[in-house]
Amino acid sequence: MNIVPMPPAPQSLLNGFSIEVMPRTAAKIPDFKAILPTGTRVYIAHIAGTPIEDMLSTAKRLAADGFEVMPHFPARIIADKATLENWVQRYADLGISSALLLAGGVDTPKGDFADSMQLMESGVFDAHGYTRMHVAGHPEGNKDIGDEAEVMAALKWKSDFQNRTDARMAIATQFVFEAPPVVDWCDRMQAAGVQIPVHIGLAGPAKLQTLIKFSMACGVGASLRVLTRRARDITKLMRPFTPESLLAELSVNRPAAIESVHFFPLGGIRATTDYISAQSDPADRLRA
C-alpha cells in the first residue's frame, strides 16, 4: 500500500484528542488548565502496584479542573467484584462516568477477572451511571493477547455490546509510527463487522532511544521500523521524534472508523501538550 506523505497535522484528527497520564507524571504538572483545553479527555493509567488512593487523588484534581477523566480499569489486577464496585463507586462520587477497560499488563490474573469483557458483563459500570466505556486496541498485535481470529471475535463481541446497551464506546489503540498497519487493521475490523470508533495512539515528542525502549516493552510491531530507519541517520538521531508524518499519512488514507487521536506523552506531558498546541488552531480544539 502506497501512502503519500503530506504536510503536518490535519485539524480534524487533532479535534477531540485525548492524552494519557499516570499519577506520578501528573504530579509534576502544576496546572493542567494552562496546558490543555477545558474538557480534554485525560486517561489515567493504572499500572500494577499503583495505590487506588493515588489514582483517585489524580482523578479528583483533573475532574475539578474541568477535564473528562477516564481512569483505567485493568481486569487482571482487580481482586474481585467487591473491589471493582468500590473503585467504580469512588470514581463516580467524583463525578466521573468514563472508563477505559482493558485486560492489563500482567500475565496472570490476580483475582476474578481476566479481560475487559468480564468487566463489561459485570454490570457494575452501568449500575453506577457510567456513560462512556472505551477498550484497548492493538493494530500490530501484542504478545499478551490471542491470535487474530480470537482478537477480532472479542472486538466483535464488544461492538455487539455497544449495540445492545447505552454504552458510548471507542477503541483507544497502542501507539504506532506509520499508517499502513493502522489502515489494514481498520479494514480487517470492518470486514469482521466491528463498528466501534477508533482513537489512534500516537507517541508524543520523545528521544528515539526512549521510543524504541517503550516500543519493545509494549509490543509495537511493524511500524517500529520507522524509528530504526531514523536511528541510522545521525542528523535525526539527536532530534526528538514527532508524529506529524503519521498524522499526514492518515489524513490521505483515513479509514472511516478513525475518529480522533490519543497521545502517549512518552517524552513528558509538557513536551506533548506544547507539540499539540503548536499544531492546532484554538478553534479546532473544541471537543467532538
Q: Could you report the per-residue pLDDT of 150-185, keeping only the tens digit for each?
A: 999 999 999 999 999 989 999 999 988 889 889 999
| pLDDT one-digit tens code per residue, 48-60 | 999 999 999 999 9
DSSP letter, residue 241? B
The band of 227, judged by pLDDT with boundaries at 50, 70 and 90, is low
Q: How confident is the model at residue 217 (pLDDT cuts 50, 70, 90)?
A: low
Q: pLDDT, tens digit, for every residue of 239-277?
A: 678 888 889 889 888 999 999 999 999 999 999 999 999
CA distance to 47, 52, 66, 87, per residue, from 22 (Å): 8, 12, 18, 17
Domain spans, the chain = 11-279
- Which residue has better confidence, 12 or 198? 198
Fold of 11-279: TIM Barrel (3.20.20)
Map grid coordinates 449495540 to a residue.
Answer: 163
Q: What is the torsional sign of CA 55, 134, 37, 278?
A: positive
Element spanning 172, H or E: strand 168-175
Tell me: the pLDDT tens digits for 13-46? 898 999 999 999 999 999 999 999 999 999 999 9
Q: At what angle do helices 179-191 and 244-252 cross, to 10 degrees?
A: 40
- In terms of Cα–Cα distance, which of 42, 35, 34 is closest to 16? 42
Better-scored residue on pLDDT, 279 or 227: 279
pTM beyond 0.85: the answer is: yes
